[in-house]
């Protein structure tokens, strides 16, 4: 049992994604990617869950906030200085694939794109902040989607190989920590995000999604092997969206249902990427849902030889579920389904808040895999108000984070090997699921709004100084 709390070299920091905060979508030779054609506003969530999206922009009808993000492309020095002021040890960001290979299938990378990330990593190094780089974070180049059908097409493995070799080679002396695919297990729920295609129909969604996932499993395993070859000291992890599944009650039917849902959502991808093999329970699921995975010779060996060094995950909510749901109960749960948990309150966007669920998640993952864990997304999306004196009194965010960090600390005392924590959206950015600026997560307020107005000025919220204090005390001072 660890009585001392977090390790001395614990990685405290914040997390972002290029498509949500970088901007500069048509600068530096960058090509279009998936996020560039997703409209702003709550219409986005409907599109993500539907079939038949055409991946075209309609500027007469929609706005596209990801084009500008919060302009990190031009303001990275200012933003990194603020992260350093908070005491960040690590900063999670993604590389926009289409900034390195604008179309995705070129033979040679775009030098302007490579040089931009050189400057970002050099700026982080100036403050002794470790970059944690997500290689693919909902940013499939648009050309690969339109021309090849996204990750349904095996050709993307080849294109991804070329991309990872280029960035591993270029940044081998600047980046140690890497993640392959963001929230890879969310792909079957929202294939548009994770796999870069819109299902032809609801009937084909599962077949297409699991085939695309197989291609990503192979690509991830090959990336791990290539990364270890080019950067021997590298640490390469997987990235899951994790939500413990609670049975609605002690009815054994509901307990079994929760168990099966947890296996499929929480553990299927982890088993493949961490253990190096498809798990025992997936055969029955494939058979019952008429799913047949096309594999090439050597795929399973590649997966077995390309297991990750650590597990990273996002945690926002738990999920409560039951086998039989009434029409009234359908859709009452969180973003990822289930039913309403009567013991939990919810955020402004209906996401149930469950700090103890984080401790449960850490124990479940460590108990199953015995690999170091890093929480790379956690936070509260909320409406923030700028007071007359210019301050942002986000005590609700401090309360949320305090309770979750306290439960993370309990998991460490339980014996779980937790190596880092990066709060999501450490600076306000565009919401992935709704395309809104008003869903704010940051310690740093950005003057940008859903109607496109704003100066992009940065302001420190009350939570800025609170998180600085947490980092300075290595998680001991949560007041």
Mean pLDDT (whole number) for 339-365: 94
Q: Give me the CATH topology for the region 11-473.
A: TIM Barrel (3.20.20)
Distance CA 475, CA 227 (A): 32
Catalytic residues: 183, 377
Within 13 Å and on the Cβ side, how many CA atoms surround 236?
26
Is pLDDT above 90 for 332?
no
Are 439 and 65 spatial neighbours (Cβ–Cβ below 8 Å)? Answer: no
255 exposed, middle or buried (CB, 10 Å; 0-12, 13-18, 19+)?
Answer: middle
Closest by Cα among 414, 444, 440, 413 to 427: 444
Within 13 Å and on the Cβ side, how many CA atoms surround 455?
3
pLDDT tens digits along 454-467: 999 999 999 999 99
Closest by Cα among 146, 140, 278 to 214: 278
What band does 1 get if pLDDT is binned at 50, 70 and 90? very low
Q: Range with the lowest mean pLDDT among 4-13, 124-133, 230-239, 421-430?
A: 4-13
- Which of the residue ranges 56-60, 123-127, 338-342 has the most confident prediction, judged by mean pLDDT? 123-127
pTM above 0.85, yes or no: yes
Taking all residues of the chain, what is their mean pLDDT, rounded to a whole number?
Answer: 95
What band does 336 get if pLDDT is binned at 50, 70 and 90? confident
Residue 2: per-residue pLDDT: 44
Are 449 and 457 spatial neighbours (Cβ–Cβ below 8 Å)? Answer: no
Are 286 and 212 spatial neighbours (Cβ–Cβ below 8 Å)? Answer: no
Mean pLDDT (whole number) for 156-177: 98
pLDDT tens digits along 252-301: 999 999 999 999 999 999 999 999 999 999 999 999 999 999 999 999 99
The residues spanned by each domain of the chain are: 11-473
Residue 333: per-residue pLDDT: 65
pLDDT > 90: percent of the chain: 89
Q: DSSP state, 424?
A: E
Mean pLDDT (whole number) for 332-347: 85
250 compared with 190, residue with greater pLDDT: 250
């Amino acid at each position: 049992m660890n009585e001392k709390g977090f390790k001395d070299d614990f990685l405290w920091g914040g997390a972002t994604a290029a498509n949500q905060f970088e901007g500069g979508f048509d600068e530096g030779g960058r090509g279009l990617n998936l996020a560039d054609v997703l409209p702003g506003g709550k219409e986005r969530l409907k599109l993500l869950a539907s079939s038949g999206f055409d991946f075209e922009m309609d500027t007469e009808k929609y706005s596209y906030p990801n084009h500008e993000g919060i302009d990190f492309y031009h303001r990275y020095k200012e933003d990194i200085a603020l992260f350093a002021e908070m005491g960040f040890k690590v900063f999670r960001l993604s590389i926009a694939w289409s900034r390195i290979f604008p179309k995705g299938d070129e033979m040679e990378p775009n030098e302007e794109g490579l040089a931009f990330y050189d400057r970002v990593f050099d700026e982080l190094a100036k403050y002794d902040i470790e970059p944690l780089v997500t290689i693919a974070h909902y940013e499939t180049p648009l050309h690969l989607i339109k021309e090849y059908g996204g990750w349904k097409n095996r050709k993307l493995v080849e294109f991804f190989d070329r991309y990872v070799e280029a960035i591993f080679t270029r940044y081998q002396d600047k980046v140690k920590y890497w993640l392959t695919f963001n929230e890879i297990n969310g792909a079957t729920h929202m294939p548009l995000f994770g796999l870069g295609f819109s299902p032809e129909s609801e009937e084909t969604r599962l077949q297409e999604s699991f085939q695309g996932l197989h291609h990503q499993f192979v690509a991830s395993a090959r990336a791990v092997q290539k990364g270890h070859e080019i950067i021997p000291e590298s640490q390469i992890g997987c990235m899951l969206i994790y939500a413990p599944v609670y049975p609605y009650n002690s009815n054994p039917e509901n307990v079994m249902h929760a168990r099966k849902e947890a296996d499929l959502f929480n553990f299927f991808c982890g088993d493949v990427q961490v253990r190096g093999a498809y798990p025992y329970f997936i055969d029955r699921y494939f058979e019952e849902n008429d799913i047949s995975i096309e594999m090439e010779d050597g795929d399973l060996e590649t997966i077995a030889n390309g297991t990750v060094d650590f597990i990273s995950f996002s945690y926002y909510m738990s999920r409560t579920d039951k086998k039989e749901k009434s029409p009234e109960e359908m859709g009452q749960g969180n973003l990822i389904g289930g039913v309403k948990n009567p013991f939990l309150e919810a955020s402004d966007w209906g996401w149930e808040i469950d700090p103890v669920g984080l401790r449960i998640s850490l124990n479940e993952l460590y108990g199953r895999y015995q690999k170091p864990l890093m929480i790379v997304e956690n936070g509260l999306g909320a409406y923030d108000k700028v007071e007359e004196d210019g301050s942002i009194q986000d005590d609700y965010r401090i309360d949320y984070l305090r309770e979750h960090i306290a439960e993370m600390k309990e998991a460490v005392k339980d014996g779980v090997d937790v190596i880092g924590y990066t709060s999501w959206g450490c600076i306000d950015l565009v919401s992935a699921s709704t395309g809104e600026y008003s869903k704010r997560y940051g310690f740093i307020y950005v003057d940008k709004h859903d109607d496109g107005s704003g100066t992009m000025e940065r302001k420190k919220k009350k939570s800025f100084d609170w998180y600085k204090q947490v980092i300075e005390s290595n998680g001991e001072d949560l007041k």
